[in-house]
Chain A
Amino acid sequence: MTGSQPPYLHPPYVATRTRSPRQPLVPLPPTPSEWTGPALAPPDAADLTRQLPGEPLGQRIVVAGRVVDEDGRPVPRALVEVWQANAAGRYRHDADQFDAPLDPSFLGAGRTLTDADGRYRFITVRPGAYPWRNHPNAWRPAHIHFSLFGPAFAARLVTQMYFEGDPLLAYDPIFNSIPDERARAALVAAFDWEGTEHFRALGYRFDIVLGGRDAPEWERES
């Protein structure tokens, strides 16, 4: 697994310099404390283009995929939360100081549960790239934030989905904090012809593998 996850300290991402632990992490044995988790089942909000009056501006897209564990088994009823900037690269958040316009028809937040086969599907607009203050002329590549609750709190994952062909990926310290090239590539959603909808939206595919599902010792003992 070495290299598939980013380190806590990645100096090119400046905020990690003061927010990463210096002491070694303590290995945590599996117990029910972290190897169980909440079963959250909110009302579905999977169509981000239909949450406010009017149609949001931008390229409409379908983002769909499958959530599986490290053995490839589907993870059903996993809560998937997403949030993102609008098509102009602006978040609906008071801390976002970029002067790109807000879109009165776009909140940029969604959530859904995976089905019995681990599948999820969102309809949204392609988010814009935006500048940030990490270093001079820093731009985040277009991305959608993803948050996943699997069967265990230990498997809790927050990540970002990027878009195939985005030239900004090469310059992004957050994306490039992941040492393993395959692990980086797995965060880049591929254009998906099968997911494209006639006269409605382009399709992108983003599959997710949740870790932390080893057979817990406390179960074997009991």
Chain B
Amino acid sequence: MGEGIVRLLATASQTAGPYFRIGFAWFYVDDLGGEGERVVVQGRVYDGERAPVPDACLELWRAEPPGFGRVPTDAAGVFRFATIVPGRVPGGGGRLQAPHVAVALFARGVLRRMATRMYFPGEAANADDPVLALVPPARRATLIARPVRAGVVEWNVVLQGEGETVFFELP
């Protein structure tokens, strides 16, 4: 595919800056939709000094329409969204992935979208998820939410330093 063809240079990313609300707020969506029982996901975004990040935006995608969400952090760095536990989608090599939500994070001071994922706690499928298997075992827990109470899970995002969330390289 594409052999002998000169590929165009992908347009460079730049930070969303602190004012993305102006462009994004028309479509802030805090429920990813779908039929079934909702799980509320709440968390905070922290920087490398463990300070909350009040000007981040998380976009969420679950590969089943509607499946999209977009939530900003508040002054305390807190975000919140609701989703069903999604179905399992193929993960390559004929394997299925454990239920998860794909996450893109934008913020002031973030020059390129940070790509991560949130998996659900207590899912047996987490043990043989092909993407979690690519992550050093000691860091896998950063991708899996923690149960808080029935119907509520907590998932924090640490941009840097101790407990740093796993971020992915997209081609």
- Bound-complex Cα distance A212 to B10 (A): 9
- Bound-complex Cα distance A160 to B92 (A): 35
- Determine the chain B residues whose CB is within 8 A of the CB of A187 once the complex forms: 11-12, 14
State whether B14 touches A109 (Cβ < 8 A): no
Min C-beta distance of A138 to chain B, whole Å: 13
State whether A15 touches B27 (Cβ < 8 A): no
State whether B131 touches A91 (Cβ < 8 A): no
State whether A145 touches B12 (Cβ < 8 A): no
Main secondary structure of the interface of B (DSSP, over half): loop
- Determine the chain B residues whose CB is within 8 A of the CB of A4 once the complex forms: 9-10, 12
The closest CB in chain B to the CB of A83 belongs to B23
Binds B, one of A53-61, A68-76, A163-171, A195-203: A68-76
Using known A-B contacts A159-B12, A211-B10, determine if residue A16 contacts B111 with beta carbons closer than 8 Å.
Answer: yes
What size tier do the contact residues of chain A reach?
35 or more
How many residues on the B side are at the interface (Cβ–Cβ under 8 A)?
73
Chain A 58-101 near chain B by CB (<8 Å), digits 1 or 0: 00000000001111100000000111000000011101100000
- Determine the chain A residues whose CB is within 8 A of the CB of B165 once the complex forms: 21
- Given contacts A5-B112, A29-B92, A42-B27, list 20 more A-B pairs with CB under 8 A: A4-B12, A6-B112, A18-B159, A27-B169, A28-B131, A31-B90, A34-B61, A34-B115, A83-B19, A95-B55, A96-B19, A111-B23, A158-B13, A182-B9, A183-B9, A186-B11, A187-B14, A208-B11, A211-B11, A218-B91
A–B pairs, 11, beta carbons within 8 Å: A28-B134, A28-B170, A29-B91, A33-B117, A91-B22, A96-B19, A156-B59, A159-B11, A177-B111, A182-B9, A222-B90
